[in-house]
Structure 1
Amino acid sequence: MTRSEKISRYGARSAGVFSFRSESALIKDQEYFVKAFVRTENLTVVGTTVRFHSKGSLPPEISAFDPTIANWGDTLTLKGERFSARENQVFLGEIEGEVVSQSDSLLKVVVPFEKNEERVKLMVKTIGQEAISRDDFIYRKPVVDAFDPGHGAFGDTITISGSHFLNTESLKVTFNGQEAKILEASWQKLRVQAPGEANQKNLQLCVSANGLAGCSQDLFIVDPPVIERLSQQEVKIGENLVIDGRGFNPLPNNNVVLFGQQSITPWNASSSRLEVGIPDGVYDSRDVTVGLQTAEQEHIFGSRIRIMNIWLNKGSIPDHGIFSGVAFSFSHGQYGFCGIASDNQITTYRYNPAANRWLKTGTFPGTFRFEMTAFVIGDDAYVGGFNGTQDFWKYDILNNTWEQVADFPLPNMGMTSFAVNGNGYVVCTVSKSSNFWEYDVEADSWVKLSDFVQKDRFQGSVDLGFSYGSKGYLLASSGPSKADEFWEYDPSIRRWKQLASQMNLQTYGKRSFFIIKNEFYLMPDSYNEYLCKYNFSDNKWFIVSRVEGREDGLCFTVEDATYIGGGHNYGKALKDFWEYNPHP
């Protein structure tokens, strides 16, 4: 016999035959040996051993269990029939509990600490037979009654009141599903830190044990961030800026620092300090707002920082595709103007530096061409030249209208110009004769002047012209000597004067140039890389810095800043657009 069950029948008997019917704990086809016995106060009498083959038992039956709702580690009492007096297994769902007391009608089992479903059936297995409870056993979830404070910042300590906070490794506190650090735990109280991972404004707080959670009805509100102080007011791109305040997220990636329209995540963060590099990119203005986004909230600091880089990225010129180019550009008042040539049409634009915005103003009505010249007299711009054309046009800047004026006397393959004392002056850039003309605005006529002559005309050409004060200036290539000759023209005496040549850098194409604070700046072409400047007071050239060269780009100056963009470099079309300010 491999198993032994002792069945006792209680109650006194005076005499006669007695019997007992066993319906449980018997294995089918198992051979059993049984002895009857009678015990009195003073004597035990054992009957003869009887052998029989079992036909099996009826299955056990669970009639009730208590309590029906309990915590992990609590003891359940199961009542029923046909349990085994020695060998019973009790399962809560699929997880087996520890049986601590058993009889054929009563079992006691400890609720196991393993993770389980919230509602499960109880099952008793007894020698190949099983019984399943009619009712569900329910695990008691943690209950969150309140928490304090009701609002705060990431990293703040929150006290949670409630019940059934099972203090085991399975205990977790979450804010919108993000786990918080538990500082202190008891059955009815928890102290936790609001996690930075829960980067939202309204947070639901939940306490869970073995995967079963109880959640607060109220929401924890994350306070908005506030920037209180910046480490400096003048910065350069790439430099580090320290931001002090409150309500920051201690996780760097959950903060977004705004510099105007640029955004970047800080490289270091705490709840009261951020460290961030000034990002590269397009800036509408040098005076930039500083803001912070975190937890679905945004704060903009009251003071601005100033970007002190000499070159500032302003984005791009109006895009007309790869087969386009700048036809002309000039400035007037607070705006810059240009024409973009593409698809047999020249589209005109006005640029507002204060807002970094381009406004399409119309189309140039004259013959389609590139590399035109433009000079401004009063509130009118005069535009023309290039590609064998003669038509010339006046643009009324204030009213945005075009009017054709007197044709240029000769077809030309390029020209440069300047305006002095209310008259325009044009130099044909590649002509060896009849190459210098004056435009009389009042008479709307062209007057031929004495030719502009260089020392060596062979392969020489005029690259650019401009006015400064009451005089005009030209920069011209001398050909084989590879020097940029610099010339000054005085209209009052109609005489040219040669100034210091520009450092043996040969001209190739139409370069960008500008005047800021009484200094003339010259951008390089595709074959050179130095930005140079000329000082009028001492007639000297200086190298300023290395820059990318460009030809046939737009260039205009508004107040003390110059705007440069477009053109090409080694045949590569350029669409970039920059502000240059040597004194930002």
Structure 2
Amino acid sequence: MKKLHYLCLGLALVLAACGKDDPNPPDDPTSNPPTIDSFTPQEGTPGAIVVIIGTNFSTVKTENTVKFNGTEATVSIADATLLTVVVPNGATSGKITVTVDGQTAQSSTDFTVTEPSANAPTIDSFSPQEGTPGTIVEILGTNFSTVKTENAVKFNGTSANVSNATATMLTVEVPNGAETGPISVTVNGETAQSGTDFTVTEPSGNSLAIQDFSPMQGPIGTSVTINVTGISLSDYAFNEVVVKFNGIQTSVNQKSSSSVIVYVPTFATTGKISIEVGGETAVSDEDFTVTGPWRRIADFAGNLGNSYRRDGIMASLMDNQSNPKIFAGLGENGSFGTNGQKDIWSYDINTNSWEQKTDFPGGARKNAFSFVLDNKWYVGGGINNVPETVNDFWVYDPIADSWTGLDTPPVALGYSLTTFTINGKGYVFGVADDQNNFKRIGLYEYDPINNIWERKKDLGPSSISGFLYAAGFAINGKGYIVGGGIPGVYSEETWEYDPNNDTWTQKADFGGGKRQYHLGYSMNGMGYAGMGIDQNNNDHKDLWQFDPTDGASGSWTQKTDLPDGNRQYSSAVATDNKAYFIFGAIIGAEYEQFWEYTPAFDN
């Protein structure tokens, strides 16, 4: 019995000694260093998403240090056998390493960092820099898609909803589950990553929420009541309550403890309503639908500093893929004087972006005339920076992006003229009489096939002697002149020109009254005129539609006003059932804004 006791004691001591000698017990993490088995893809640009497969990774993202050839990357997803990371800015080709608990694994092959293409997206900045889930964030950059669903935006790997998209700005909502880290944007398989992190903050215990809002839709300027829960708005000043419609801020008109009344702001588009107060942000579940015919699009890119453009020219031309593009340029920047420009810009309707084209070779000028024939843009006349009236004539080919000088017109046609086109010929109206510069009723016809100018019948008889700065358009083979005048005497008359018999016929007076420095265009069998300045020096932002088939004289109907300020010296052109408005000024202010008008939405 005693021998058995000693035998058991000895066995216990042996087992204990063996346990002390084991340097790597199974539960010791230092015995499980990370490994990298593979990664995919094998190459990519900074901002690309890379999946690393291996073993013994930490399930806590911040406990995995991943580097691309020494440049640290952000881990967006982590489990024991897989890491999802973003190729960091500044990374170079080389090995990928993963460090966990001080132990490092290295890939057996290199990851190749490639250069992004010329069309790859870039992120320049974002605002705000922090916020709770639901916060509306604007991302500024280049080469974004104008189709919202073609932009994949992620906050440190968590996908976000894009509510508005242009080529240079995305409006997104911080998604639920997002964590602090970089923002990425992927377009057509290429990814851009922000240089700084977006900080995701925790909402306070108040849990601000938008309960509902009414109405659910309306045009710009509509009064909207927003009801909230989780916080008392009475505890905050008006300027401490920030309300936005799809990222566009508006001012609070009225508020109570649980609601605010606001107006749909000028540049709002359809999307979510957000309210920010007391460090919290709440976003509506439903979209507010902006109705009405007007939409502000990408501002004109040819601005100089804080000074905008007026007295320029516009045209609608087809590119080599038969897509319509809007061309604009010339005109004057700065205070009223002699700061004419010669630049030409093209607007792409599909991408909502501007591109500079070849400068006009005839030199800087304002008040030039222009018209389009057979997808060619004919330009001439105007006032240069001397200042003096210019007499020349040029044609622009949008496919070749080139200008060609044409024969000088037989007479100096002048400046601030009105144009329209009928049956493949261009017409220039408002040419001065040789003996009287304020007798502006002359009409000239240009035949591009024979390169010939021919004087046609003067307008008349009229109540005034001249129609400088008139609006003009053509409908169904006839030309129309609306308003205009000479210094101190403005007109409200509408005149129709028939080229078949070279005659003028007076039609219904312009509905907006006596007007000058206004614009005109035609679309779908209707003429349009508006804005400008009246006999009493009042600027306007109205728009009127002329129906030539309504009775013997036709009729004018007022449409929805431009949502922004009054203006004169503006320009407009129509294509694809929409009209586009640019340029303009009032005394002391000019406008760079570019607007799209859809008459089908103007009921």
1:259 is aligned to 2:245: yes
For 1:346, what is the secondary structure of its paired residue? coil
Match of 2:456 in 1: 450
2:473 counterpart SS class: strand
- C-alpha separation in 2, matches of 1:255 and 1:571: 32
**Structure 1 residues 229 and 411, CA gap change in structure 2 (3 angstroms):** same
How many angstroms does 1:328 deviate by?
Answer: 0.9
How far is 1:312 from its partner?
A: 5.2
Q: Is the 8 A contact 1:236 1:278 kept in 2?
A: no
Q: Which amino acid aligns with 2:404?
A: E
Match of residue 541, structure 1, among 556, 567, 573: 556
Structure 1 residue 551: Cα displacement = 2.9
SS in 2 for 1:449: strand
CA distance in 2, matches of 1:398, 1:296: 53
Structure 1, unmatched stretches of 5+, are 1-151, 154-199, 203-218
Of the three residues 562, 568, 573, the one matched with 2:579 is: 562
Q: For 1:386, what is the secondary structure of its paired residue?
A: coil
Query: Matches of residues 410-449 of structure 1 in structure 2 within 5 Å?
Result: 410-414=411-415, 415-431=417-433, 435-443=442-450, 445-449=451-455
Is residue 330–residue 375 contact of structure 1 (8 Å, CA) maintained in 2?
yes
The verdict on how the C-alpha distance between 1:434 and 1:410 changes in structure 2, with shifts beyond 3 A counting, is: farther
Specify the SS of the correspondent of 2:357: strand
Letter in 2 for 1:400: D
1:305 aligns to 2:288 (yes or no): yes
Deviations, residues 69-109 of structure 1 (Å, cap 9, x unaligned): xxxxxxxxxxxxxxxxxxxxxxxxxxxxxxxxxxxxxxxxx
Tell me the amino acid that sits aligned with residue 367 of structure 1: G
Q: Which amino acid aligns with 1:320?
A: L
Amino acid at match of 2:581: I
Q: How far does the alpha carbon of each residue in 1:495-518 deviate from its partner, in whole angstroms, 9 at most, with x for none?
A: 33332233694444x311234552
Specify which structure has the higher proportion of helix: 2
**Partners of 1:551 and 1:567 within 8 A in 2:** yes
Residue 90 of structure 2 is matched in structure 1 by none
Counterparts of 1:228 and 1:335, CA distance in 2: 43
Q: Please name the residue that 2:369 is paired with.
A: 373
The TM-score normalised by the length of structure 2 is: 0.49
Whole-Å separation in 1 of the counterparts to 2:419 and 2:303: 27
Name the residue aligned to 1:395.
Answer: 396
CA deviation profile, 1:130-184 (whole Å, cap 9, x unmatched): xxxxxxxxxxxxxxxxxxxxxx99xxxxxxxxxxxxxxxxxxxxxxxxxxxxxxx
Instruction: Name 2:140's counterpart in structure 1.
Output: none
Write the distance in 2 (CA, Å) between the matches of 1:496 and 1:220.
72
Q: 2:380: which partner in 1?
A: 384
Change (3 A) 1:422 1:516: closer
Shift of residue 262, structure 1, vs aligned partner: 0.8
Give, as a single letter, the amino acid of the residue that structure 1 aligns with 2:472: G
Amino acid at match of 1:425: Y
Are the aligned partners of 1:437 and 1:446 in contact in 2 as well (CA < 8 Å)? no
Percent identity, aligned pairs only? Answer: 20
Q: Is the 8 A contact 1:201 1:296 kept in 2?
A: no
The equivalent position to 1:250 in structure 2, one of 209, 231, 234, is 231
Q: Which residue of 1 aligns with 2:467?
A: 461
**Distance (whole Å) between structure 1 residues aligned to residue 247 and residue 401 of structure 2:** 31
**8 Å contact kept, 2:245–2:274:** yes
**Residues 370-409 of structure 1, C-alpha deviations (whole Å, 9 max, x = no match):** 1112212232221222233232222223443323233322
Per-residue deviation, 1:458: 6.2
**Cα deviation 1:8-29 (Å, max 9, x = unaligned):** xxxxxxxxxxxxxxxxxxxxxx
TM-score, normalised to structure 1, is: 0.51
Q: 3-state SS of the aligned residue for 1:430?
A: strand
Q: CA, structure 1 residues 364+457, in 2 after alignment: closer, same or farther (shift >3 Å)? A: farther
Closer, same or farther: CA 358–240 of 1 in aligned 2, 3 Å: same
Q: Flag the 1:575–1:452 CA change in 2: closer, same or farther, 3 A.
A: same
**Is residue 2:555 matched to residue 1:550?**
no
Alpha-carbon contact 1:429-1:461 (below 8 Å) kept: no
| SS of 2:509 mapped into structure 1 | coil
Q: Which has the higher contact order (CA 8 A, sep 6+)?
A: 2
1:473 aligns with 2:485: no
5+ residue gaps, structure 2: 1-131, 134-176, 180-200, 318-322, 334-338, 384-388, 434-438
Number of aligned residue pairs: 366
> Is the aligned partner of 1:277 residue 2:262?
yes
1:249–1:255 CA contact under 8 A, matched in 2: no
330, 337, 353: which one pairs with 2:327?
337
Query: Match of 1:371, SS?
Result: coil
Is the 8 Å Cα contact of residues 309 and 583 (structure 2) preserved in structure 1?
Answer: no
Q: Distance in 1 between matches of 2:215 and 2:519?
A: 34
Q: Is the 8 A contact 1:201 1:295 kept in 2?
A: no
User: For the structure 1 residues 567 and 237, does the alpha-carbon distance in structure 2 shift closer, same or farther, using more than 3 Å as the test?
Assistant: closer
Residue aligning to 1:347: 343
Partner of 1:197: none
RMSD, aligned α-carbons: 4.7
Q: Which has the larger radius of gyration?
A: 1
Question: What is aligned with 1:74?
Answer: none
